[in-house]
Amino acid sequence: MAKKLKKVDVVTVGVGWTGGIIAAELTKQGVQVVGLERGKARSTEDFQHVHDEYRYAIRYELMQDLSRETITFRNHRDERALPMRQLGSFLLGEGLGGAGVHWNGQTWRFLPYDFEIKTKTEEKYGPNKLGSDYTLQDWGITYEELDPYFYKFEQMAGISGEDNPKGAPRNNPYPTPPMKETPITKLFKDAAKNKNLHPVHIPSGNLSERYENPDGQTINQCQYCGFCERFGCEYGAKTSPNVTVIPTAKKTGNFELRTHANVTEILYDGSKATGVKYVDLQTGEEFIQPADVVVLTSYVMNNARLLLQAGIGKPYDPETRTGVIGKNYCYQILPGATGFFEDKKFNTYMGAGALGAAVDDYNGDNFDHSKLDFIHGGVLAISQTGQRPINNNVVPNDTPNWGKEFKAQSIKYYHRNLAIGAQGASIPHRNNYLSLDPDYKDVFGFPLLRMTYDFTEQDRKLHDYLSGKCADIMKEMGADIVEPREIKDHYSIVPYQTTHNTGGVIMGADPETSAVNNYLQMWDADNLFVVGASAFAHNGGYNPTGTVGALAYRAAEGIMKYRENKGQLVKAKAASKRA
């Protein structure tokens, strides 16, 4: 029998970037917030022995324990979904700070085009550019409306960057200057300029200098140690919830953090969420935590899963194309080109997660698609994240992947290869979605989330196009061998690709086609907010965290408004008017 606890103002399910931002913003204004985090507490002092590629990057020390819960996966609806038994394609976060601990820190703003993608695409290219299987839609908010929230996130996080002529327009400079120029970023920039492109330093959450944020939290200067993605920062120099919003929330005295608290259910009375049920993983005790406002802050997967399990919002059905929960699951494609240099060695073992240079000339609608049979694009970047030896054995295509030749070539090219990678936008397709698995259960007996996903024709065309552009720049950089990447026959859950999963609880202007309004408030439950990349109506051509952060600040403001006025914060637009 679950023990019922005293009601609180707000409860968050997960304490990473989004849970931390909600907690900090609300507690600063006197609201009582309980943060439920199923992992353990951790911060900078836990990362003093973190320079261990095997433990952290290969065995995934900081990631989700799949023995308790995973997802199931299939490419197509007519296949049997099977459990993702090991981590691979993406690395789910777990523990205080979530994936905000082991991200790389590349902090972009999605483009104005992204937020009004359907309208703008139709205006320019007509109504049927991609065909009706692509469930493209506007986000119910414009870039101009989101601009101040982007800035709030960047100020809190101390982002290091510079003006980007092809990026989203800014009204304020970045809080800190860009990271250092290196021979690698310079080589890329020179080549890009020769091609009449507009290179900039990647906006970085590994800070170029020591910075105190408006909440009085200090983020230190990045040391370029080469252990960033998949690792926590031993200097507190990679901005993370653990060194910013979580201590800010704690400082108010209004935040209660409960770790090892695994939420299993949202409690729902048919119109409102009354609280959540969770299990203390250390004692096995069950608790009910009633709250005036429930906030799901679990990035994507568990936001969608908990809603499907609770029956809040209509589940998406790809057959009838009705329903919203689980709809528009998107990922990203990763076109690119590898360059091998016979006579030049680079210090690729040094680096930082967001150290690099990029061009946005082929992102969004920054280039004309009239004669192309795809939309959108992606950022093209060279990143110097620090190449560690287990995971980096890059060899030319015709080399075997074991044996004498492999060993010789992987050693020879270890410091003699560079890669330009694109983050190709992911356009939603009716057959790519999230639902509950009919067979497989988690450790508590609840159904796992089932992912149905494959690459689309749009993906293939965009991939080819962007790989070609990456190869052009790499040739200009002087590589002796240039190998453009090719897209696989099908999406595979096995090799690591990216942790930029999005969608499933998307935002929009119309309850028929979206799950949350532009404050990330559920259309079907006024006191339930669902915060994360789950709200993305499609995935853009960038890392998602900047946009996730902006939406979290927007949601925090929405929760304060809801506490004042109750009810829906946004008037729904009917689908018929927009069709």
Partner 1 sequence: MADENTKSTMSRRRFIKNSSYVAGGAIGGGFLGTILGRNVFTDNQQQASPEKNNNANDYNRALMYFTRQKDFDILSAATERIFPEDENGPGAIKLGVPYFIDHQLAGAYGHNDREYMQRPFYPGSDFQGYQTRLKRHEVFMVGIQAIENESQKGFDSSFLDLEDKQKDEILQKFQDGKVDLKGVTPTTFFELLRSATLEGAYSDPLYGGNGNMEGWLMKEYPGNYMSYINDIGKDKFIKKEPKPLRAHFAS
Binding mask 293-332 for partner 1 (x = CB under 8 A): ----------------------------------------
Which string of b and e fits 80-117 if b means at least 16 CB within 10 Å? ebebbeebebbbbbbbbbbbbbbbbbbbbbbbbbbbbb
Coil, helix or strand for 248? helix
Stretch that binds partner 1, among 75-83, 267-275, 499-507, 546-554 (CB under 8 A): 75-83
Interface with partner 1 includes 440 (CB under 8 A)?
A: yes
DSSP-derived pairing of the beta strands 71-74 and 356-359: unpaired
* C-alpha atoms less than 13 angstroms from C-alpha of 204 in its C-beta half-sphere: 38
Nearer to partner 1, 66 or 560 (CB): 66
- Phi and psi at residue 54, to the nearest 5°: -65, -50
Stretch touching partner 1 by CB under 8 A, among 124-132, 177-185, 257-265, 317-325:
177-185
How far apart CA 269 and CA 248 sit, in angstroms, is 33
Q: Which residue has the tokens 């507009």?
A: 198
Taking the alpha carbons at both ends of the chain, their separation in whole angstroms is: 49
In sequence order, what DSSP letters do the residues of 56-90 get, joined into one string? IIIS-TTB--TTT--EEEESSTTSPPEE--S--SS
Q: Which is nearer to partner 1, 355 or 434 (CB)?
A: 355
Residue 332 C-beta: closest distance to partner 1, Å: 17
**Binding piece for partner 1, criterion CB under 8 A, among 285-293, 410-418, 465-473, 536-544:** 410-418
With beta carbons less than 8 A apart as the criterion, state whether 243 and 43 touch: yes
Q: Show the tokens assigned to 381.
A: 């970047």
At position 570, the amino acid (one-letter code) is V
By C-alpha distance, which of 261, 414, 231 is closest to 338?
A: 414
* Residues 55, 61 contacting (CB under 8 angstroms): yes
Q: Which of 201, 429, 500, 538 is catalytic?
A: 500
φ/ψ of residue 166, rounded to 5: -105, 5
| Contact status: 3 vs partner 1 (CB under 8 A) | no
Q: Could you say whether residue 51 binds partner 1 (CB under 8 A)?
A: yes
User: Which of 30, 58, 212, 496 is in the footprint of partner 1 by CB under 8 A?
Assistant: 58
Please report whether residue 104 would count as binding partner 1 according to CB under 8 A.
no
480 binds partner 1 (CB under 8 A): no
Q: Which is nearer to partner 1, 226 or 424 (CB)?
A: 226
What's the chain's length in residues?
579
Q: Residues binding partner 1: what is the number (CB under 8 A)?
A: 64
Helix (H) or strand (E) holding 575: helix 575-578
Whether the CB-CB separation of 19 and 297 falls below 8 Å is answered with: yes
CB 283 within 8 A of CB 305: no
Nearest CB to partner 1, comparing residues 221 and 399: 221
Are 515 and 313 within 8 A, CB to CB?
A: yes
* Rg for the chain, CA atoms, rounded: 23
- CA 241, 247, 250, 251 torsion: positive or negative? negative
Q: How far is the CB of 222 from partner 1 (least distance, A)?
A: 8
Contact 68, 274 (CB under 8 A): no
Is 131 a binding residue for partner 1 by CB under 8 A? The answer is: no
Q: Is 271 in the site for partner 1 (CB under 8 A)?
A: no
In whole angstroms, the minimum distance from the beta carbon of 172 to partner 1 comes to 27
Choice from 4, 40, 77, 85 touching partner 1 (CB under 8 A): 85
Give the residue, chosen from 299, 374, 491, 542, that forms a contact with partner 1 under the rule CB under 8 A: 491
Contact residue for partner 1 among 299, 374, 414, 536 (CB under 8 A) = 414
Single out the residue of 216, 494, 565, 567 in contact with partner 1 (rule: CB under 8 A): 494
Which listed residue (74, 198, 250, 461) binds partner 1 by CB under 8 A? 74
Determine the Cα–Cα distance for residues 434 and 504; give it in Å rounded to an integer: 6
408 counts as binding partner 1 under rule CB under 8 A: yes
**Segment lying near partner 1 (by CB under 8 A), choices 110-118, 310-318, 405-413, 508-516:** 405-413
Query: Is 390 near partner 1 (CB under 8 A)?
Result: yes
Footprint of partner 1 on 194-223 (CB under 8 A): 221-223
Q: Is 574 in the site for partner 1 (CB under 8 A)?
A: no
Q: Mask: binding to partner 1, 342-361, rule CB under 8 A, as x and -?
A: ---xxx-xxx---x------
The verdict on whether 538 is a catalytic residue reads no
**82 lines the binding site for partner 1 (CB under 8 A):** yes
204 closest CA partner among 350, 68, 354, 417? 354
Q: Of the two residues 241 and 351, which places its CB atom closer to partner 1 in the complex?
A: 351
| Binding status of residue 370 toward partner 1 by CB under 8 A | no
**Residue 49 binds partner 1, judged by CB under 8 A:** yes
Residues serving a catalytic function are 500
Chain residues that interact with partner 1, rule: CB under 8 A: 48-49, 51-54, 58-60, 65-67, 69-70, 73-75, 79-80, 82-86, 88, 180-183, 221-226, 234, 345-347, 349-351, 355, 388-390, 393, 401-404, 407-408, 411, 414-415, 439-441, 490-494
